[in-house]
């Protein structure tokens, strides 16, 4: 945390930049991170909480090792991305916003990520799967499940 | 000057005036809901929308500044329909159980619904529901009634500088809440209750203690003794439609007697004790190089704030309890002994303008005699409710006097209820003790008035005493930073959590946004207290004969062993958040 | 740090060196392999393609060949795209396994790999990009450098007139002259509202303040829109340069670009552009001894669509919840940190350098009377050529959908096109010949929007579409003002009821009344335009709403709850597979007899349809 905070001056406008880095690094915003940020920027805990809960990117609970985001933007929706989302829910046994018990997978329905030329699209962490089908989703998940990591 | 037309009527106002203000100037009222002058001017609710010729869409009357030649229509059919739909939507997401709501009859939403002739909800739908937070001893938060006007958030952040609540989540799920959605009891809330005063509906209210008091009143074995703070008597009448700033002491005492309290005492008397103890404490510190500046400790919201945010300042705080706590301790010891009553059978009720005192009475150190100094605290509002429940025709009551022997108080005790009052009362005693002079001019004008921070110098026979009076927690913070950084060159500080002092406390009658914008409520209530002081025969705390008697017979010396046992307390560092 | 003379020299040399990028008869022995490296193609392995090419070239020790990553070519449907220059041969849907063949056959032996060439809609094989119908009606101004240069190489940008406009502005034009030029060009805000850009610059210049800011709105949140992303990924420097020109004109020396965090490649490339510009002495103090200071900073968004609204964006840069501010005061007078601020969209900025270099007259000769220049659209949905297109204003919708877009796939019919995303309206068949410009679109109840253009065929239900968009708006509403926070939710609930078969008489009128009042009373553009999809679908497809409400019918077949599954007695063989697999036992029938579905029990899961070997069940 100190490393992240050290990059920024104590201006309150740095809050979202800092939170983005924390989210990136930890996969969520831990409580002690909020306390440190609160002290560093002199912002109340309530206000930080208000900012965290406003923006979709910030989560208070850790995500799975493999975070699956199915795009429900118009172009993808029109090309049937909802079926892919349903399949993901079914296969992983979790709902949107949840993480599997073993912490391996978490699921999200995301807004348009801008790869509309390849609709429908889902991502697993940074990797983008374009022109996706229920089959490609199955394959992607199976590949991860087979990997003993 | 700017010239504009509103509903066909011309009006001339200064530049920078809002449409709302300009309209009110010519008696055209525009309805508002989220607007709270100088505190919450954000244009969220959309109730105050008006039409401006030549402009697309609606203008927000409470914020938009007037422009030369503007032609405004405040109740065209389009505006009325838009307002109706907006109100419909607000109510569709509101817990509409008015009959069981504490703000029934005094609710700004209810008033609008009545004015707009809402007879059915056209756009009913799902509601954003949350559990009620009633874990703290002082305040209850019911989000199901919240209309997201954010008046409370602005008050807590902007005015009080505490920031225990803020807007969380987004869109329809938006919720006014605390860090981590914890109870107010588990975050840095100071229980000052200013949010309650700001709330237009029943989303925030005090923890009700009237049921408990009724129970005790019913119990024949219990001796129920009530004491009333000075700020209560100049505001209670408002709950019965009387003019703001009417001193209803006499009726209040009569009402209390009719409610069945065994004894009706005056907290002002307790205040006199506080002055004597605190004055003595101050002089000791002054003489013996004790920790200065000394800070008053009778505002429990302020004390809680200090414990959470500036625990290093604890040594500066006076160890005196607040008046009603001192008084309660004396009732359970001196009075009980004198009247031969078993103190375990005494139930002391304090009527306070304050909700933090509901917490204060539960603090460690408030049980000096082995029994709680004070057993229940009810606010001015709760007392009014009890009086109404008993169907007492308050306005037409005759006057009564407080009961002896603890019912006599000085004018100094009376002015406790306003910012600067404690300091003034203390200075009267301190000045006299320090100089040995008996002086006639008792008003310290430099510390009267409604500014947030007042600084003054008092010459006491060659010794210059610098004092500071602050009200509102944001101002308290300024003083704390001065003390922390070593820049404080003053000796005595009075701090009240509520802006304006106890008369504007979190337990006082709730006024509407329009009243708060147009009437000097603080000024009127304060001047009633100063008036009481002026008319008092005895105006210096140490000259109170009852007080002198009790010291002589029972307590011994001010600051002495017994006084310390019963009338003093201690403080702790308090965690801001329960993780 | 380079001096102005050095930069000009680099331009001269590099331009010659890179002439082959745009000139098929360039005098060169080199071959450049351009690979599209925008997010779209990257997800289809174009990074791998680039790596493979480079590896093979190294292994085979081939000289005079370069592999260049470039920005989006636009024809995403056929990606990943590889273009060989100078001959301008364009290979479509390339996979990493094709790299070997392309190198051996084309690069080494000069033979075109026929099987990788692109087939146009009319099945004609095409060799050059410009021969494709997709490109014939396009005019790439904002996208000029996308697909030509390596976006991470500042010298390539400089080569093609990069930072020439900045020089012209700093040394040969006054701020007023710049603003006059931009005003005369007729450029209007490309973010959607279409406010005259020159006028906005003028207001900001005239505002009083000791500090001014220039902000670029790159929070492209409209689902289906990726114009801004492509510009930032393919040609970030043109935005840097434009912001500097804007800063010079309005009197600001600090700029911010607010980019969605969901665009990691765009963020990376833009940051690289800033870093390179600083390195070369283009961003910084006293640039080229002109006395002008300017610097830029990247600010990330955090997943809130509403932050695309300019005042909400400012709140977000200030570290707060992205809740819009009331206007007036306008950002030009009181913006970021309370100072006068100019905010423009990425695409708006992308036009600036071209206007400065080619003149306002040139720009205003393109487009229609009130809408000048070109517009970039992200064409998506039920259309053959999905991708990025840039057309002159005034091009008709028909031209975009059919000539450029290649028409509707699978032999289906055009039903409607949606512009402006969740803030826009649908354009039905009868308005296919509407010219795409600000006024014409507004006149028919839609709006230009930021450029997302989704085409829908006749299998799409318009009520469901309105519901989809409302779902988005409800999720993204900031929650500050009542009409949007609660009103959009109520509209969504009503649409859900209707699509679930619980619509009641009077619902359409109720929706319309609510929509009109939400539009009128909301604080910001999100709330003011959220009801548009509802109002426009009701306007043009009122019948569909009536069918859903009065007859509980969804003719397009999208609203599951209204599906009535039935077994065709002509086709049914009575095999009983459907009956056995029905999870709620809603099918009855004897062996070898026609089976029947009990509509009361049916939950419309569709299992029977998939199980029937005779395709006898229809929904």
Looking at the predicted structure, is the pLDDT value of residue C40 above 80? no
| pLDDT tens per residue across span C453-468 | 999 999 899 999 999 9
Q: B130 in contact with A at a CB cutoff of 8 Å?
A: no
**What pLDDT is attached to residue C190?**
95
Q: Which two tokens stand for residue B215?
A: 């129970």
Contact by Cβ (8 Å): C393, C369: no
Cβ pair C521:B123 closer than 8 A:
no
Query: Which of chain C's residues have a Cβ under 8 Å away from the Cβ of A127?
Result: 43
Cβ pair C43:A121 closer than 8 A:
yes
Subunits with at least 3 CB pairs below 8 A relative to chain B?
A, C
Looking at the predicted structure, is the pLDDT value of residue C78 above 90? no
* Of B485, B481, B411, B425, the residue nearest B453 (C-alpha): B481
**What pLDDT is attached to residue C348?**
97
| pLDDT tens per residue across span C144-181 | 999 899 999 999 999 999 999 999 999 999 999 999 99
Q: Any idea which of B428-432, C128-132, C221-225, C273-277 has the lowest mean pLDDT?
A: C128-132
Instruction: Give me the domain span that covers residue C589.
Output: 563-619
Q: Which two tokens stand for residue B362?
A: 């539960």
For residues C22 and C148, what is the distance between their CA atoms, to the nearest angstrom?
Answer: 7
Cβ pair A47:B187 closer than 8 A:
no
On the CB side of C463, how many CA atoms lie within 13 Å of its CA?
31
Looking at the predicted structure, is the pLDDT value of residue B383 above 70? yes
Using an 8 Å CB-CB cutoff, list residues of chain A that contact chain C.
11-17, 19-20, 41, 43, 50-51, 54-58, 72-79, 110-119, 121, 126-131
In a domain, C143, yes or no: no
Which CATH number covers residue C542?
Answer: 1.20.1440.230
**What pLDDT is attached to residue B440?**
65
The domains of chain B are located at 2-75, 92-206, 211-567
Contact by Cβ (8 Å): C231, C375: no
For residues B292 and B288, what is the distance between their CA atoms, to the nearest angstrom?
Answer: 11
* Of C586, C495, C479, the residue nearest C527 (C-alpha): C479
Q: Which residue of B has its CA nearest to C525?
A: B57
| pLDDT tens per residue across span A25-73 | 888 999 999 999 999 999 999 999 999 999 999 999 888 888 899 988 7
Instruction: State how beta strands C213-218 and C254-259 pair.
Output: parallel
Q: Which residue of B has its CA nearest to A44?
A: B163
Q: Do both C530 and C481 map to the same domain? A: yes
Q: Do both C191 and C278 map to the same domain? A: yes
Picking from C407, C437, C457, the residue at the C-terminal end of a domain is C457
Q: Which residue of C has its CA nearest to A16?
A: C319
**What pLDDT is attached to residue C418?**
94
Q: Which residues contact B471 (CB under 8 A, 6 or more apart)?
A: B419, B452, B495, B496, B497, B498, B499, B500, B501
* Of C209, C179, C158, the residue nearest C16 (C-alpha): C158
Looking at the predicted structure, is the pLDDT value of residue B531 above 80? yes
Picking from C503, C525, C550, the residue at the C-terminal end of a domain is C550
Q: Which residue of C has its CA nearest to B147?
A: C482
SS3 content of chain B, % helix, strand, coil (to 5): 45, 15, 40
Beta bridge partner(s), residue C126: C118
Question: How sure is the predictor about A148, in pLDDT bands with cuts at 50, 70 and 90?
Answer: low
Q: Which residues contact C140 (CB under 8 A, 6 or more apart)?
A: C146, C374, C390
Q: Any idea which of B262-271, C25-34, C266-275, C506-515 has the lowest mean pLDDT?
A: C25-34
Q: Which residue of A has its CA nearest to C42?
A: A128
Cβ pair A57:C225 closer than 8 A:
no
The residue that leads in pLDDT, C5 or B464, is: C5
In a domain, C149, yes or no: no
For residues C462 and C454, what is the distance between their CA atoms, to the nearest angstrom?
Answer: 13
Residue with tokens 């975070």: A67
Looking at the predicted structure, is the pLDDT value of residue A149 above 70? no
Q: Which of C304, C421, C468 sits opposite A55 (nearest CB)?
A: C304
Q: Which of A45, A54, A55 sits opposite B179 (nearest CB)?
A: A45
Contact by Cβ (8 Å): B170, C305: no
Contact by Cβ (8 Å): B319, B280: no
**What pLDDT is attached to residue B165?**
97
CATH of domain B2-75: 3.10.20.740
Q: Do both C281 and C395 map to the same domain? A: no
Which CATH number covers residue C593?
Answer: 3.30.70.20
Q: DSSP string covering B108-145, please?
A: HHHHHHHHTT--S-TT---------B--SSSEEE-GGG
Q: Do both C224 and C237 map to the same domain? A: yes
Where would I find the H helices in B187-299? Answer: 194-198, 210-218, 230-233, 249-259, 267-288
Q: A71 in contact with B at a CB cutoff of 8 Å?
A: no
| pLDDT tens per residue across span B537-561 | 888 899 899 999 999 999 999 989 9
Using an 8 Å CB-CB cutoff, list residues of chain B that contact chain C.
42-46, 49, 57-58, 60, 63-65, 78, 81-82, 85-86, 89-90, 92-93, 122-123, 125-126, 148, 167, 169-174
Which CATH number covers residue C223?
Answer: 3.40.50.11540
CATH topology of domain B92-206: Alpha-Beta Plaits (3.30.70)
**What pLDDT is attached to residue C603?**
73
**What pLDDT is attached to residue A114?**
67
| pLDDT tens per residue across span C321-366 | 999 999 989 999 999 999 999 999 999 999 999 999 999 999 999 9
Q: Do both C381 and C248 map to the same domain? A: no
For residues B201 and B95, what is the distance between their CA atoms, to the nearest angstrom?
Answer: 10
Q: Do both C341 and C229 map to the same domain? A: yes
Q: From the CA of B140, how many Å to the nearest CA of chain C?
A: 24
Give the end-to-end CA distance of chain B in Å, rounded to a whole number.
55
Cβ pair B164:A31 closer than 8 A:
no
Looking at the predicted structure, is the pLDDT value of residue A117 above 70? no
Q: Any idea which of B149-158, B361-370, C164-173 has the lowest mean pLDDT?
A: B361-370
Distances (CA, A) of B439 to A29, B411, B543, C70, C372: 63, 15, 13, 90, 85
- Number of domains composing chain C: 5
User: How does DSSP classify residue B331?
Assistant: I
Q: C529 in contact with B at a CB cutoff of 8 Å?
A: no
**What pLDDT is attached to residue C45?**
86
**What pLDDT is attached to residue C26?**
87
| pLDDT tens per residue across span B274-321 | 999 999 999 999 989 999 999 999 999 999 999 999 999 999 999 999
Instruction: State how beta strands C31-36 and C213-218 pair.
Output: unpaired
Cβ pair B166:A31 closer than 8 A:
no
Q: Do both C546 and C596 map to the same domain? A: no
Helix axes C462-476, C532-550, angle to 10 degrees: 130
* Of C551, C431, C477, the residue nearest C324 (C-alpha): C477
Q: A53 in contact with B at a CB cutoff of 8 Å?
A: yes
| pLDDT tens per residue across span B215-228 | 999 999 999 999 99
Mean pLDDT of C227-250: 96
Q: Do both C74 and C185 map to the same domain? A: no
Mean pLDDT of the residues in chain B? 94
Q: In what order do the strands lie in the sheet with C82-85?
A: C65-70, C31-36, C82-85, C89-91
Mean pLDDT of the residues in chain C? 92
Peptide bond between residue B405 and the one before it cis (omega within 30 degrees of 0):
yes
Question: How sure is the predictor about B265, in pLDDT bands with cuts at 50, 70 and 90?
Answer: very high
For residues B313 and B176, what is the distance between their CA atoms, to the nearest angstrom?
Answer: 32
Looking at the predicted structure, is the pLDDT value of residue C77 above 90? no
Distances (CA, A) of C586 to C500, C517, C578, C595, C603: 19, 45, 10, 10, 9
In a domain, C396, yes or no: yes
Picking from C520, C550, C580, the residue at the C-terminal end of a domain is C550
Q: Do both C168 and C259 map to the same domain? A: yes
Length reported for chain A: 149
Q: Which of A31, A34, A50 sits opposite B168 (nearest CB)?
A: A50
Element (H, E) at C511: helix C507-521
Q: Do both C183 and C298 map to the same domain? A: yes
Q: What is the CA radius of gyration of chain B?
A: 25
* ipTM of this complex prediction, to 2 decimal places: 0.91
CATH topology of domain B211-567: Rossmann fold (3.40.50)
Distances (CA, A) of C416 to B69, C398, C430, C453, C457: 45, 11, 9, 10, 7
Q: Do both C356 and C479 map to the same domain? A: no
Q: Do both C354 and C216 map to the same domain? A: yes
Q: From the CA of C311, how many Å to the nearest CA of chain B?
A: 14
Q: pLDDT > 70: what percent of chain C? A: 100
Q: From the CA of C56, how many Å to the nearest CA of chain A?
A: 25
Instruction: State how beta strands C596-597 and B2-6 pair.
Output: unpaired
Looking at the predicted structure, is the pLDDT value of residue C593 above 70? yes
* Of C314, C315, C319, the residue nearest C215 (C-alpha): C314
Query: Which of chain C's residues have a Cβ under 8 Å away from the Cβ of B81?
Result: 517
Looking at the predicted structure, is the pLDDT value of residue C583 above 80? no
Q: Which residues contact B424 (CB under 8 A, 6 or more apart)?
A: B412, B415, B442, B443, B444, B447, B448
Cβ pair A57:C454 closer than 8 A:
no
**What pLDDT is attached to residue C352?**
97
């Amino acid at each position: 945390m100190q490393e992240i905070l050290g990059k920024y001056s104590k201006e309150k406008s740095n809050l979202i930049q800092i939170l983005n880095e924390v989210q990136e690094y930890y996969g969520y915003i831990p409580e002690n991170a909020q306390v440190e940020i609160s002290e560093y920027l002199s912002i109340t805990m309530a206000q930080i909480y208000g900012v965290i809960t406003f923006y979709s990117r910030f989560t208070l609970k850790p995500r799975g090792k493999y975070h699956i985001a199915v795009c429900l933007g118009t172009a993808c929706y029109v090309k049937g991305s909802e079926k892919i989302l349903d399949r993901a829910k079914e296969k992983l046994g979790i709902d949107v916003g949840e993480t599997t018990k073993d912490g391996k997978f978490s699921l999200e329905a995301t807004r348009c990520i801008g790869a509309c030329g390849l609709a429908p699209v889902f991502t697993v962490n940074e990797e983008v799967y374009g022109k996706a089908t229920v089959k490609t989703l199955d394959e992607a998940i199976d590949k991860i499940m087979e990997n003993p990591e | 000057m700017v010239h504009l037309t509103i509903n066909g009527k011309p009006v001339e106002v200064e530049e920078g005036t809002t449409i709302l203000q300009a309209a009110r100037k010519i008696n055209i009222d525009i309805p508002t809901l989220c607007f709270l002058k100088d505190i919450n001017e954000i244009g969220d609710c959309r109730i105050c929308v008006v039409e401006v010729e030549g402009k697309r869409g609606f203008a927000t009357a409470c914020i938009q500044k007037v422009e030369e030649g503007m032609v405004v229509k405040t109740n065209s059919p389009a505006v009325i329909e838009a307002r109706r739909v907006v109100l419909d939507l607000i109510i569709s997401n509101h817990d509409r159980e008015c009959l069981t709501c504490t703000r029934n009859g005094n609710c700004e939403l209810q008033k609008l619904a009545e004015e707009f002739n809402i007879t059915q909800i056209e756009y009913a739908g799902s509601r954003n529901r949350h559990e009620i937070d009633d874990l703290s001893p002082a305040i209850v938060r019911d989000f199901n009634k919240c209309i997201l006007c954010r008046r409370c958030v602005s008050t807590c952040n902007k005015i009080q500088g505490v920031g225990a609540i803020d807007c969380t989540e987004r869109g329809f799920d938006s919720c006014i809440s605390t860090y981590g959605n914890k109870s107010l009891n588990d975050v840095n809330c100071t229980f000052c209750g200013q949010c309650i005063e700001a709330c237009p509906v029943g989303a925030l209210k005090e923890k009700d203690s009237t049921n408990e008091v009724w129970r005790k009143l019913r119990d024949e074995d219990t001796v129920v003794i009530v004491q009333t703070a000075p700020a209560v008597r100049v505001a209670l009448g408002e709950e019965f439609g009387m003019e703001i700033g009417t001193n209803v002491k006499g009726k209040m005492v009569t009402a209390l007697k009719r409610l069945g309290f065994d004894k009706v005492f005056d907290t002002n008397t307790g205040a006199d004790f506080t002055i004597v103890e605190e004055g003595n404490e101050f002089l000791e510190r002054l003489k013996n190089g004790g920790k200065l500046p000394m800070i008053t400790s009778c505002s429990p919201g302020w004390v809680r704030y200090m414990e959470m945010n500036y625990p290093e300042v604890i040594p500066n705080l006076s160890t005196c309890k607040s008046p009603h706590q001192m008084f309660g301790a004396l009732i359970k010891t001196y009075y009980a002994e004198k009247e031969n009553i078993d103190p375990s059978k005494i139930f002391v009720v304090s009527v306070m303008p304050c909700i933090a005192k509901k917490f204060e009475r539960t603090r460690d150190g408030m049980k000096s005699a082995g029994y709680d100094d004070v057993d229940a605290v009810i606010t001015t509002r709760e007392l009014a409710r009890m009086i109404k429940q008993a169907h007492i025709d308050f306005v037409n009551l005759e006057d009564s006097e407080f009961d002896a022997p603890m019912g006599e108080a000085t004018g100094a005790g009376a002015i406790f209820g306003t910012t600067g009052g404690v300091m003034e009362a203390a200075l009267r005693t301190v000045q006299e003790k320090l100089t040995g002079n008996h002086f006639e001019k008792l008003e310290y004008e430099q510390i009267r008035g409604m500014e947030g921070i007042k600084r003054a110098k008092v010459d006491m026979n060659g010794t210059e005493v610098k004092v500071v009076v602050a009200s509102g927690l944001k101002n308290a913070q300024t003083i704390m930073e001065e003390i922390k950084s070593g820049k404080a060159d003053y000796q005595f500080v009075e701090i009240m959590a509520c802006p304006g002092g106890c008369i504007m406390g979190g337990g006082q009658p709730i006024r509407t946004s329009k009243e708060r914008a147009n009437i000097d409520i603080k000024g009127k209530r304060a001047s009633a207290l100063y008036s009481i002081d002026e008319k008092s025969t005895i105006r210096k705390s140490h000259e109170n004969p009852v007080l002198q008697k009790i010291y002589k017979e029972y307590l011994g010396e001010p600051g002495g062993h017994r006084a310390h046992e019963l009338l003093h307390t201690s403080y702790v560092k308090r965690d801001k958040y329960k993780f | 740090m380079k001096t102005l003379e050095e930069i000009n020299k680099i331009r001269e040399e590099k331009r010659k060196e890179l002439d082959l990028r745009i000139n098929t008869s360039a005098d060169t022995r080199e071959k450049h392999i351009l690979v599209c490296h925008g997010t779209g193609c990257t997800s289809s392995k174009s990074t791998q393609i680039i790596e493979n090419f480079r590896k093979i070239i190294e292994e085979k020790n081939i000289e005079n060949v370069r592999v260049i990553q470039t920005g989006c070519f636009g024809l995403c449907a056929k990606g990943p795209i590889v273009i060989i220059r100078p001959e301008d041969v364009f290979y479509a849907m390339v996979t990493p396994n094709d790299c070997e063949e392309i190198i051996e056959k084309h690069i080494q032996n000069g033979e075109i790999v026929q099987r990788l060439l692109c087939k146009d809609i009319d099945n004609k094989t095409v060799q050059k990009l410009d021969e494709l119908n997709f490109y014939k009606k396009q005019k790439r101004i904002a996208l000029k450098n996308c697909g030509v240069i390596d976006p991470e190489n500042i010298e390539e940008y400089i080569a093609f007139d990069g930072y020439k406009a900045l020089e012209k502005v700093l040394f040969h034009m006054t701020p007023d002259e710049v603003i006059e030029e931009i005003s005369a060009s007729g450029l209007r805000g490309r973010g959607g509202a279409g406010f005259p850009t020159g006028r906005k610059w003028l207001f900001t210049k005239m505002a009083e303040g000791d500090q001014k800011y220039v902000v670029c709105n790159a929070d492209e949140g409209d689902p289906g829109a990726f114009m801004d992303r492509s510009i930032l990924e393919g040609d970030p420097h043109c935005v840097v340069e434009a912001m500097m020109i804007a800063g010079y004109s309005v009197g600001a020396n600090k700029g911010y670009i607010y980019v969605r965090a969901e665009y990691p490649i765009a963020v990376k490339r833009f940051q690289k552009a800033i870093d390179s510009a600083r390195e070369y002495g283009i961003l910084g103090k006293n640039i080229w001894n002109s006395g002008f200071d300017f610097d830029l900073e990247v600010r990330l968004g955090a997943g809130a669509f509403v932050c695309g609204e300019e005042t909400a964006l400012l709140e977000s840069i200030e570290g707060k919840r992205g809740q819009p501010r009331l206007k007036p005061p306008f950002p030009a007078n009181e913006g970021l940190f309370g100072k006068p601020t100019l905010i423009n969209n990425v695409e708006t900025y992308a036009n600036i350098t071209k206007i400065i270099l080619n003149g306002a007259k040139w720009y205003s000769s393109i487009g229609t009377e009130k809408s000048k220049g070109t517009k970039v659209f992200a064409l998506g949905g039920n259309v053959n050529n999905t991708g990025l297109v840039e057309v002159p204003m005034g091009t008709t919708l028909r031209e975009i959908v059919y000539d450029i877009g290649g028409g509707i796939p699978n032999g289906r019919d055009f039903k409607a096109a949606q512009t402006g995303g969740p803030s826009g309206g649908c354009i039905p068949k009868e308005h296919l010949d509407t010219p795409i410009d600000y006024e014409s679109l507004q006149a028919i109840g839609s709006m230009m929007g930021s450029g997302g253009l989704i085409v829908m065929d006749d299998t799409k239900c318009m009520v469901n579409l309105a519901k989809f968009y409302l779902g988005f708006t409800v999720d993204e509403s900031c929650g500050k003002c009542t009409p949007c926070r609660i009103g959009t939710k109520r509209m969504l609930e009503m649409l859900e009821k209707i699509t679930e078969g619980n619509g009641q008489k009077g619902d359409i009128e109720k929706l319309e009344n609510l929509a009109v009042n939400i539009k009128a009373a909301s604080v910001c553009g999100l709330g003011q335009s959220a009801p548009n999809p509802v109002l426009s679908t009701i306007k043009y497809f009122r019948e569909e709403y009536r069918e859903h409400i009065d007859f509980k019918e969804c003719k397009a077949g999208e609203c599951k709850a209204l599906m009535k599954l039935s077994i065709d007695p002509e086709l049914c063989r009575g095999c009983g597979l459907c009956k056995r697999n029905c999870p709620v036992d809603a099918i009855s029938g004897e062996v070898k007899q026609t089976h029947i579905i009990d509509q009361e029990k049916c939950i419309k899961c569709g299992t029977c349809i998939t199980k029937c070997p005779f395709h006898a069940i229809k929904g």
